[in-house]
Chain A
Amino acid sequence: MPRVAVTGLGCISALGAGAAEFWQSLVAGRCGIRPLTHLPAGQLQISIGADVADYDATRHFEARRLAMLDRYSQFALVAAREAIASSGLDFANARNGAARRTAVILGTGIGGETTLDDAFYQLYAKGNPRVNPGVIPRMMASAATSHLTMEFGITGPAFTVTSACSSASHAIGQALWMLRQGAVDIVITGGSESCFTLGTIKAWEAMRVMAPDTCRPFSRDRRGMVLGEGAGVVVLERIERARERGAVIHAELAGAGISSDAGHLIQPSESGAAEALRAALDDAKLNPADIDYINAHGTGTAINDATESRALRQVFGPATPPVSSTKSMHGHALGASGALELIATVLAVRHGVIPPTANFTERDPECDIDCVPNEAREKPLRAALSNSFAFGGLNAVLAVRRVDP
């Protein structure tokens, strides 16, 4: 079975632009959660989020092009540019045929939410009867994927995967399997989300799963999740190909495990999560004892963190490896979260450093795991997992293995 290498990384999140700054922030335990200043505070009960602050779209895109780019597509392109540049691939050089043998598979929970929110606000609230003709092409959930193919001239298979909070992980798993099948030589994959509109925040508030203070995964006094936004993109290719062209190999994407709870639209299931964990280990040909770190789904809600902890105990038993939730720092970026967290996991394995669970205060007996509270931990990591467990019981776990240079 061909092995698959991660040869490019790119991201933008509440922790800044670029994988280097993202990783430095995670290791430092820096929390990107802050007051949401651009939304009307008087209408919000939950007024914090992990948004991409100080983002100036005109620094990244010409005004003419911005007219067709929702914020979520902008994030995807910013992350993809970094990932592709760092991989050393050159799609402009058409003679090598790479563009035809490359796929683009991105995940998103919703797509162009800010576009839709603006357009309907104009129509319903402002009484403006005309809707901008760019609304549909900006808002469609596949728009970011299309923009990525156009910017880089990539003509292979391209599509968008959506499975709520697991979207990026499902996309990346699909990318891995297409590479193993030999359907393509390279895949640009990951996820993107931009959800900070008044309507969306109010809808999340209504579910009573949002923390008013901060995100404290696995802490006894955790009060819920904190929304985030951004994008993560990785470049994947078969390991032999990466070695032949002398690319930097950050790690191996060793496997993916996917399951569905077939349970409840909101409440997670221990057995569904455990099934995805086992499937990822099987797919990667890894044993539980080979795993030295797990990047948790770890949303900070009472039910997720307890259920996830039980699922981990079910699979790993008393020797459950250290588990951390980086959502405590970059927030829950929904359809982008699986990609941001895979990047965190890849860099953890590469550098032998476990990023912490920030904002941790007190151990919860319901979460019987070592959650690496507040301080990063140096430890050689042979292999690691990244968990995504979405609403609707759609689970995806990715397995990463260290590749020695």
Chain B
Amino acid sequence: MGQVTDDGIAGRVIRVLAETQHLDVSTIRAESTFEELGIDSFDGINVLFAIESEFDINVPDEAAKQLRSVQDIIAGVETLTAAKAKAAQA
């Protein structure tokens, strides 16, 4: 996977990461780990706070502890937004 530029979930996640961590969007790739991006555990909590607001979702604490990379966040957001859409239909 290379640079992500779309306005889908991946693009929005990367934009939120760039904004909260004051990073250049072009430096963030889906496969980037938090470690590579210089994101420590508390930075990660702030990122999730912004992600929850962006997508109007709640990331459970236990799931949050497993996140290590941008791809992990994208996958988690996809799961949670799909569950939210399904709940809305029900």
Q: Give chain A's interface residue range (CB within 8 Å of chain B).
A: 10 to 19
The answer to whether B82 has its CB under 8 Å from any CB of chain A is no
Which residue numbers of A lie inside 8 Å of B, CB to CB?
45, 206-208, 210, 212, 223-224, 264-267, 302-303
Minimum C-beta distance from A378 to chain B (A): 38
Which residues of the partner chain B approach A266 to less than 8 Å between Cβ atoms? 41-42
Residue of A whose beta carbon sits closest to that of B44: A208
Indicate which residue in B41, B48, B49, B62 contacts A267 across the interface (CB closer than 8 Å). Answer: B41
Which residue numbers of B lie inside 8 Å of A, CB to CB?
40-42, 45, 48-49, 58, 61-62, 64-65
User: Judging by beta carbons under 8 Å apart, are B40 and A208 in contact?
Assistant: no
Residue of A whose beta carbon sits closest to that of B42: A266
CA–CA, A215 to B66, complex, Å?
21
Indicate which residue in A206, A267, A302 contacts B40 across the interface (CB closer than 8 Å). Answer: A267
User: Judging by beta carbons under 8 Å apart, are B42 and A265 in contact?
Assistant: yes
CA–CA, A115 to B51, complex, Å?
32
Minimum C-beta distance from A164 to chain B (A): 15
Residue of B whose beta carbon sits closest to that of A46: B61
Main secondary structure of the interface of A (DSSP, over half): loop
Interface centre among B40, B42, B64, B65 (most CB of A within 10 A): B42
Which residues of the partner chain A approach B45 to less than 8 Å between Cβ atoms? 206-208
User: Judging by beta carbons under 8 Å apart, are B61 and A212 in contact?
Assistant: yes
User: Judging by beta carbons under 8 Å apart, are A267 and B61 in contact?
Assistant: no
Minimum C-beta distance from A390 to chain B (A): 15
CA–CA, A45 to B45, complex, Å?
16
Which residues of the partner chain B approach A265 to less than 8 Å between Cβ atoms? 42
Residue of B whose beta carbon sits closest to that of A207: B45
CA–CA, A212 to B61, complex, Å?
9
Residue of A whose beta carbon sits closest to that of B46: A206
Those 3 A-B pairs whose CB atoms lie nearest each other, nearest first: A266-B42, A208-B61, A208-B45
CA–CA, A366 to B65, complex, Å?
17
12 contacts between A and B (CB under 8 A): A206-B45, A207-B42, A207-B45, A208-B45, A208-B48, A223-B61, A224-B61, A264-B40, A264-B42, A266-B42, A302-B65, A303-B41
Which residues of the partner chain A approach B65 to less than 8 Å between Cβ atoms? 208, 302
CA–CA, A265 to B61, complex, Å?
20
Further pairs besides A45-B61, A223-B62: 10, Cβ < 8 Å:
A206-B45, A207-B42, A208-B45, A208-B48, A212-B61, A224-B61, A265-B42, A266-B41, A267-B41, A303-B41
CA–CA, A252 to B64, complex, Å?
45
Minimum C-beta distance from B73 to chain A (A): 14
Which residues of the partner chain B approach A267 to less than 8 Å between Cβ atoms? 40-42
Residue of A whose beta carbon sits closest to that of B45: A208
Indicate which residue in A206, A212, A223 contacts B49 across the interface (CB closer than 8 Å). Answer: A206
Minimum C-beta distance from B49 to chain A (A): 6
Minimum C-beta distance from B5 to chain A (A): 31
CA–CA, A302 to B65, complex, Å?
10
Which residues of the partner chain A approach B48 to less than 8 Å between Cβ atoms? 208
Which residues of the partner chain A approach B62 to less than 8 Å between Cβ atoms? 223
Minimum C-beta distance from B27 to chain A (A): 23
CA–CA, A265 to B48, complex, Å?
18
CA–CA, A266 to B44, complex, Å?
12
CA–CA, A341 to B64, complex, Å?
32
Minimum C-beta distance from A357 to chain B (A): 22
Minimum C-beta distance from B53 to chain A (A): 11
Which residues of the partner chain B approach A223 to less than 8 Å between Cβ atoms? 61-62
Minimum C-beta distance from A143 to chain B (A): 31
CA–CA, A212 to B45, complex, Å?
17
Residue of B whose beta carbon sits closest to that of A206: B49
Which residues of the partner chain B approach A207 to less than 8 Å between Cβ atoms? 42, 45
Minimum C-beta distance from A13 to chain B (A): 26
Which residues of the partner chain B approach A210 to less than 8 Å between Cβ atoms? 61
Interface centre among A208, A223, A302 (most CB of B within 10 A): A208
Which residues of the partner chain B approach A264 to less than 8 Å between Cβ atoms? 40, 42
Minimum C-beta distance from B66 to chain A (A): 12
Which residues of the partner chain B approach A45 to less than 8 Å between Cβ atoms? 58, 61
Minimum C-beta distance from A223 to chain B (A): 8
Minimum C-beta distance from B65 to chain A (A): 8
CA–CA, A45 to B61, complex, Å?
10
Minimum C-beta distance from B57 to chain A (A): 13
Minimum C-beta distance from B22 to chain A (A): 17
CA–CA, A363 to B12, complex, Å?
41
Residue of A whose beta carbon sits closest to that of B58: A45
